[in-house]
Structure 1
């Protein structure tokens, strides 16, 4: 179970990329699984094996994010996180060391191969429907709305002075602005606004840093891991749950996630994150297209006997309160009632 030696017909753990034009060595999952150590990490994307041991520290999303996929098939999370795949593949080429042997499955472990293939076909269908394409006018309106609410709040204070009326109006304007700021920075963090991710990151720094006062680096560091390994213990910083439903490498949990009934008001207030299932499957998809892909996702779940749950707003709120109470009791027992 050590490194792939000469007897295996593959490169060792630090022998460098495959020679350009030369036949790629064929590797087995048994050989790949041993390369998931600090300073020695391989991963598989589209049946090709890459040695990311040294490059992980230069990964734009951080070494921890890409390191979570050591010795795994990272095909689906690769597609989920990157918009311009041809551009990213240029960075992968020097890291290429081999490919999976023809008899090896695309994914290691006990994953449902038919489900994975159906999901990838669904993702391609969404691309064909142009559901990943951005409407600049929509997000331009969002930025204009946020700035208008901020301006109205200041004008209210300046023109009306202190008092109940000005306080109520200012609270409404600022709450609307801050709520949509958070939704917009979420879109920007997932690079679903501009065609060039650089512009997403720069705009996110303005919205998150200047209008909300949060660190974009801190949020992206945690949130990207949450999407890459949703509900996976020691890998998802947002929760401490065991993996429930893993679809390829996207770690998409359906049994621990649900949607909330859609309406124009709720979609606006939540930034369309009431479509939690669709968002976790397609994090770079512009939010206003979730309702278009939802029927396809629901049909996929029905085909494979997976629960696709949609709750009403009151039911969702009650569940949240119950969960918070349960979590609070756990922490209370752990830290106060020892």
Structure 2
């Protein structure tokens, strides 16, 4: 009996070898788990696990999972402990912070943000219907279009929140909130969003693993894209061809116009996923929700009297949502980037390096949906947005303690930083002979030009 209680050990090097299909291991708090079968039904998708297999993933596990998830690990335990398991001082502080937030009930106390936002969305939807159906003036129709764009922004925040944590009383209601706010109201599949967004959180600002930075041929935030690297998320080559060179050379000019049509790309990405051969959770429900959107929206537009009015209605509504697309890029485009897979041992450091916060007054929190606290959200993606402003000073102090960046910029400053980043890559792309070396010298001499 005594022999049965003796612990079995492996090293971190041994753990790294368990990184092949059918033999996928991870470590959490010094214990090794076999996730080879579990990966097929993992609610967060397979990419987030595949990117971290063979590593200690304690910090990422804490960030993404509620306390109840720890009980499910017992069924996956291999019986092995990692003999040289150790956590950095930053990780230990991060885990203590997460534990303290849990003791304070911050993850469970979600406030009434969802109720307020849903009520706001419902009121805006009624205003849009009134503006289109009951009014005849062009100005009223354009105001209705602007309100519809604002509705899409606020509805997307609900979809985002419900995708990260249960904002309703149970999972069924939460799934309903996702499909309603995402698929039905915005026409963007919640399945597509969760697939890409979870990967983005895990591999924040990795050029080849983070899908939110892979916008070739339209945008490139780094000259490293000019080597035609392979996207490990989409499993395809990000070709830096003549078209990409041309478009990227002027990206600092096209940035805002392209954002006005950002929704079209999201519609396309949604359809590509739903019609793909990938395993898509709730595919039928996602299709049904998309069908709802593509029923009510064209019908609404068709109620306008002329084709020019219909065009400008769609253009205005799409252009207003550009504010949200810009916000998403401001949070990351000008932050630090790297090449390669994410690593489990530097979770806090990678999130701090790859994010930018947007400073604003508290009365504007509704407009930004909590995502102006981007670092706080990345560190604690399950934390309800009503608490992000409260925990920001604590996160800032921890960054200061460990000499990590904590960048909180005004909306204007964040735009300046983003355009500067795009401009750097644009000038580097213009040299067809040697796009990187020559222009790096140019940038060194013209940093503030």
User: Does residue 361 of structure 2 align to residue 263 of structure 1?
Assistant: yes
Q: Using the alignment, how far apart are the partners of 2:121 and 2:345 within structure 1?
A: 37
**Paired residue for 2:402?**
304
Could you tell me which runs of 5 or more consecutive residues in structure 2 were left unpaired when the two chains were aligned. Answer: 215-336, 436-449
Equivalent in 142, 153, 157 of residue 179 of structure 1: 153
Q: Judge conservation of contact 1:266–1:272 (CA < 8 Å) in 2.
A: no
| CA drift at 1:39 | 2.2
Q: Using the alignment, how far apart are the partners of 2:383 and 2:71 within structure 1?
A: 23
Alignment of 1:41-120 (within 5 A): 41-83=24-66, 85-86=67-68, 88-101=69-82, 103-107=83-87, 113-120=88-95
**Paired residue for 1:229?**
203
Q: Judge conservation of contact 2:369–2:385 (CA < 8 Å) in 1.
A: yes
**Paired residue for 2:130?**
155
| CA drift at 1:249 | 6.1
| CA drift at 1:126 | 1.6
| CA drift at 1:192 | 4.8
Q: Using the alignment, how far apart are the partners of 2:113 and 2:134 within structure 1?
A: 31
| CA drift at 1:255 | 2.7
Q: CA RMSD in A?
A: 2.6
User: Does residue 200 of structure 2 align to residue 200 of structure 1?
Assistant: no
Q: Judge conservation of contact 2:135–2:141 (CA < 8 Å) in 1.
A: no
| CA drift at 1:158 | 2.0
- TM-score normalised by length of structure 1: 0.82
Aligned CA distance change for structure 1 residues 211 and 49 (closer, same or farther; 3 Å):
same
What SS does structure 2 have at the residue aligned with 1:41? strand
Q: Using the alignment, how far apart are the partners of 1:225 and 1:55 within structure 2?
A: 17
**Paired residue for 2:188?**
214
Partner deviation per Cα, 1:290-318 (whole Å, 9 max, x = no partner): 11111111111111111212112211111
Of structures 1 and 2, the one with the larger relative CO (CA 8 A, separation 6+) is: 2
Aligned CA distance change for structure 1 residues 133 and 91 (closer, same or farther; 3 Å):
closer
Q: Using the alignment, how far apart are the partners of 1:184 and 1:31 within structure 2?
A: 42
Equivalent in 112, 115, 140 of residue 137 of structure 1: 112
Aligned CA distance change for structure 1 residues 206 and 94 (closer, same or farther; 3 Å):
same
Q: Judge conservation of contact 1:230–1:243 (CA < 8 Å) in 2.
A: no
Partner deviation per Cα, 1:80-112 (whole Å, 9 max, x = no partner): 1122x33x34432222112434x51235xxxxx
Q: Using the alignment, how far apart are the partners of 1:189 and 1:288 within structure 2?
A: 16
Partner deviation per Cα, 1:37-94 (whole Å, 9 max, x = no partner): 22211100122101112321222222222121101111111121122x33x3443222
Q: Using the alignment, how far apart are the partners of 1:257 and 1:171 within structure 2?
A: 32
User: Matched residue pairs, number?
Assistant: 306
Aligned CA distance change for structure 1 residues 228 and 69 (closer, same or farther; 3 Å):
same
Which structure has greater helix proportion? 2
What SS does structure 1 have at the residue aligned with 2:26? strand
- TM-score normalised by length of structure 2: 0.63
Aligned CA distance change for structure 1 residues 127 and 94 (closer, same or farther; 3 Å):
closer
| CA drift at 1:287 | 0.7
Could you tell me which runs of 5 or more consecutive residues in structure 1 were left unpaired when the two chains were aligned. Answer: 1-20, 108-112
Aligned CA distance change for structure 1 residues 200 and 333 (closer, same or farther; 3 Å):
farther
What SS does structure 2 have at the residue aligned with 1:106? coil
Equivalent in 19, 22, 25 of residue 36 of structure 1: 19
Q: Judge conservation of contact 1:24–1:97 (CA < 8 Å) in 2.
A: no
